[in-house]
Structure 1
Amino acid sequence: MKQTTISIVKSTVPVLEKHGQAITTRFYEMLFEQYPSLKNVFNQTNQKTGRQQMALANTVYAAAQYIDRLETLLPVVKQIAHKHRSIGVKAEHYPIVGEFLLKAIKDVLKEAATDEIMEAWKEAYGAIADVFISVEQELYEEAEEKGWKDYKKLMVHKKVKEAEDVYSFYLISPDQKALPAFLPGQYVSVRIPGQEYLSIRQYSLSGYPNQPYYKITVKKEKQMEDGVVSTYLHDQLKEGDLLEVSVPAGDFVLKENSKSVFISGGVGITPMMSMLHQALENNQEVTFIHSAKNEQFHAMKQELQSLSETYTFEQHVFYSQAQTEQHDEHITYGRLTKKELAKYAADKHAYYYVCGSSSFTQMVLEGLAEMGISQENIMYESFGPKMSMTPSA
């Protein structure tokens, strides 16, 4: 990009900070009006709640901030690209998105969006889009080499209740072909038909790699808007039924290290169990910290118990709303707090894996930072749209 382009784009940072969500809200309105078929790709629940608009606003804002240091954003670009590949975002979508993003900027900022600013953003968007297209093309090629490019129908071999509001689904290939390998911590997208458009959600693979099945463990969301897919899986999907599934994706994966600390809240335990299996098999030193409402809502409790009988590792479970208490050295009756976290997670040489709701993840990340844990040693996933380009994400 020309230096003048970089300077102009960076000068728009304060404006984007103030008007970013108004721009992205208008962007999606115009985009779906002209291309309603794209509702099959974009999460309509996140549209209704405003989460997707906020996520895109943060992305545009960060892109403007770091336009002169785009290499800083590459790790986060890779994270977003994994999601784009898993849900089916294609190279041909980028010119469409660019067209309506520029129209939205002009529509919201009006005369403040001068021709000079619009031309600079057109060039900047093109450069950023090229990076995404290149990374995603590699991921598509990788997926196709492993198994398939977009979605394939897998059969529900088993459906098992894990907790009060959680089921596990064991998925196999109807044609008996081996499923593509995955890394512990990765997820798949599942796609179901809706009243008007397809609905897509990502679910972590909770099973152990190198098995003849994929296992996803799904919590039924209480709010119908959030629970379109989970309600379908819980209430309608039966053993023997088919489900459209993507090749596994994601870079929230287990790293080689002498010690791993897993910290999860609620159904955030799902990628942790896959990573826990691998870490124990690799003879890593492990600390496993999990927070749940109570024993009835503790997903995969029996599997965790089974692993503790086979392997030796440090385990701490917190029940925030338990109605009855029993003596168990691994269980603390109360909420996981930063103070409690500091008792078990202070090793500065360990790798930390965090997964849970946004508020839970934020609390844990703040706690680890206050303990002096290096950001380079922390990997995390939180529920919601994964579309932030801040380098710390």
Structure 2
Amino acid sequence: MLSEQSAATVRATLPAVGAAIGEITERFYAGLFAAHPELLRDLFNRGNQAAGTQKQALAGSIAAFATHLLERPEQRPDAMLGRIAHKHASLGIAPEQYEVVHRHLFAAIADVLGEAVTPEVAAAWDEVYWLMANALVAIEKRLYEQSGSAGWREWEVVERIAETADVVSFRLRPVDGGPVADFRAGQYVSVRVELADGARQIRQYSLSGAPGETVRQFSVKRVHGGATPDGEVSNHLHARVREGDVLQLSEPYGDLVLDGVDGAPVLLASAGIGVTPMIAMLAHLAADGHQAPVTVVHGDRSPAEHALRADHEAYAAKLPVAAVHFWYEQDAEEGTHAGLVDLAGIDVPEGTRAYLCGPLPFMRAVRSQLIDKGVAAADIHYEVFGPDLWLAKS
């Protein structure tokens, strides 16, 4: 909770900071990477930096956290903090790195706002930063303790499966022959690879196999334009990684998991490669003998581009009450829908818990339709691949 004096100062300066937050984050990353080029090379996603999406996500999270402190001082925004902490844990972020971020972020604030940053203003926003940073450090510490590791483990590729022309699944076992900890359906792993220029870039991929297996499976969609940072890791995995190769993986993380669904109807909605966590969720529901209705919704460009479709259908078929609805923009087959996902004619049972994964416009549209159908906003959960721009674009 903010002190009374700091709350008044943050409230008075939030409009000015909010208006300049984009420029502040731009200056922050420029200063950070000038002082620590190894962070851009080996930790931060170069594609997200080039596209500007990481800057937008940082700006959105800072503004949202400060606003929450002012509007609901008795509550902590655990959902937002948890999402960030899971991503940080998958990258192996350490507490001391928050000191580095603090130094460069506040240098950027002073640089952009100039004389407006009085000692009182600096102290108030310093309090905001450390409330957020310390909360994240505490959550990340618990996550590391639960996983038993904050580092990387080597895994050997034992099978490579071409799902579509642009999606490949990799199945891996630990090189050390040790046990494979279970994961919660919907979680992801970070994968670290060394690229041709020596950079060790990291990307997150949802686990697309069934929980309880003795192997890890994740699926990668190739991002075209392979010379650009945006697709450098996916293209490296597609072009260079074969059976017998070794990759570095983190432990599983992610907060889009099936909580509180016992006896409740479930809706799993995905688009494109957003199908991957839904496959694990369906596998879990089938193995768990879930008796309540399950509604499966997926949209893709065409049947040929629908990755893991056989698994999508097979796991749904194992459920006692399941309805499967596929939409294709091209070449829609009999029994499927043509065009974009539209829930207008789809029955959504009362009390449904919904899980969404796919492009942000898709998830916004589906969420709006679900709310119109009476699904509580608190029962709609989502996963974003890459920086979470939901807050930044709200």
Is the pair's TM-score, using the shorter chain for normalization, greater than 0.5? yes
- List aligned pairs for 1:274-313, cutoff 5 A: 274-282=280-288, 283-284=290-291, 285-312=293-320, 313=322
Q: Which of 51, 54, 65 pairs up with 1:52?
A: 54
Change in CA separation of 1:151 and 1:387 when aligned onto 2, cut-off 3 Å:
farther
User: What does 1:115-194 correspond to in 2, within 5 Å?
Assistant: 115-144=119-148, 148-194=149-195
- What is the distance in 2 between the residues matched to 1:388 and 1:117? 28
Counterpart of 2:27? 26
* Aligned equivalent of 2:323, options 303, 314, 324: 314
Matches within 5 A, 1:214-253: 214-224=216-226, 225-253=229-257
Q: Give distance in 2, aligned partners of 1:97 and 1:155.
A: 35
1:96-145 Cα shifts (integer Å, max 9, x gaps)? 1111111111111112222221121122222221111111111111121x
For 2:385, the equivalent position in structure 1 comes to 383
Once the two structures are overlaid, the 10-residue window that deviates more, 77-86 or 275-284, is 275-284
Q: Aligned letter for 1:34? A: A
Looking at structure 2, the residues matched to 96 and 387 of structure 1 have their Cα atoms a distance apart, in angstroms, of 24
Q: State the one-letter code of the partner of 1:289.
A: V
Check conservation: 1:77, 1:389, Cα contact below 8 A.
Answer: no
Tell me the TM-score normalized by structure 2: 0.92
Matched residues in 2 for 1:2 and 1:301: separation? 53
The reply on whether 1:111 has 2:115 as its aligned counterpart is: yes
Residue of structure 2 in register with 1:79 after alignment: 83
2:303 is aligned with what amino acid? E
Question: Of 335, 338, 342, which residue of structure 2 is paired with 1:333?
Answer: 338
Which amino acid in the other structure matches residue 237 of structure 1? V
2:324 partner amino acid: Q
* Superposed CA offset, 1:40-88 (max 9, x none): 2211211111100110011111122122427331221111101000012
Shift of 1:308: 4.6
Task: Name stretches of at least 5 consecutive residues in structure 1 with no aligned partner.
Answer: none
Could you tell me which runs of 5 or more consecutive residues in structure 2 were left unpaired when the two chains were aligned. none
Deviates more, 1:33-42 or 1:235-244: 33-42
Residue 306 of structure 1, CA deviation: 2.8
Which whole-Å CA distance do the structure 2 matches of 1:197 and 1:345 have between them?
Answer: 49
Instruction: Give, in angstroms, the shift of residue 227 of structure 1.
Output: 1.2
Aligned to 2:272: 266
Distance 1:306 1:2, change over 3 A: closer
In structure 2, what residue type is equivalent to 1:37?
E
- Corresponding letter in the other structure for 1:275: M
State the Cα distance separating 1:238 from its structure 2 match.
Answer: 0.6
Q: Work out whether 1:4 is the aligned partner of 2:12.
A: no
Cα distance between partner residues in 1 of 2:86 and 2:308: 26
One-letter amino acid of the structure 1 residue matched with residue 116 of structure 2: A
Query: Is the contact between residue 267 and residue 295 of structure 2 (CA under 8 Å) also seen in structure 1?
Result: yes
The whole-number CA distance in structure 1 between the counterparts of 2:258 and 2:141 is 24
> Quick one: distance in 1 between partners of 2:341 and 2:6?
48
Structure 1 position 177, deviation (Å): 1.4
**Cα gap change, 1:116/1:290 in structure 2, threshold over 3 Å: closer, same or farther?**
same
**CA distance in structure 2 between the partners assigned to 1:305 and 1:124 by the alignment:** 47
In the aligned structure 1, how far is the partner of 2:74 from the partner of 2:279? 34
CA distance in 2, matches of 1:133, 1:45: 26
8 A Cα contact 1:157 1:240, kept in partner: yes
Aligned residues: 382
Aligned equivalent of 2:200: 198
User: Is contact 1:205–1:215 with CA below 8 Å preserved after alignment?
Assistant: yes
Instruction: Quote how far apart the aligned CAs of 1:196 are.
Output: 4.4
Aligned 8 A contact 2:90 2:252 in 1: yes
Amino acid at match of 2:114: K
Identity of aligned residues (%): 34
After TM superposition, the score normalised by the length of structure 1 is 0.92
Q: Distance in 2 between matches of 1:308 and 1:74?
A: 32
Letter in 2 for 1:161: A
Is residue 46–residue 230 contact of structure 2 (8 Å, CA) maintained in 1?
Answer: no
- Residues 348-363 of structure 1: pairs in structure 2 closer than 5 A: 348-363=350-365
Letter in 1 for 2:280: S
Cα distance per residue 1:153-202 (max 9 Å; x no partner)? 10001000111211110011122212111000000000111314321110
Q: Distance in 1 between matches of 2:69 and 2:37?
A: 31
CA distance in 2, matches of 1:217, 1:350: 28
| 2:53–2:389 CA contact under 8 A, matched in 1 | no
SS at match of 1:119: helix
Report if aligned partners of 2:187, 2:256 keep a CA contact under 8 Å in 1: yes
Matches of 2:375 and 2:18, distance apart in 1: 29
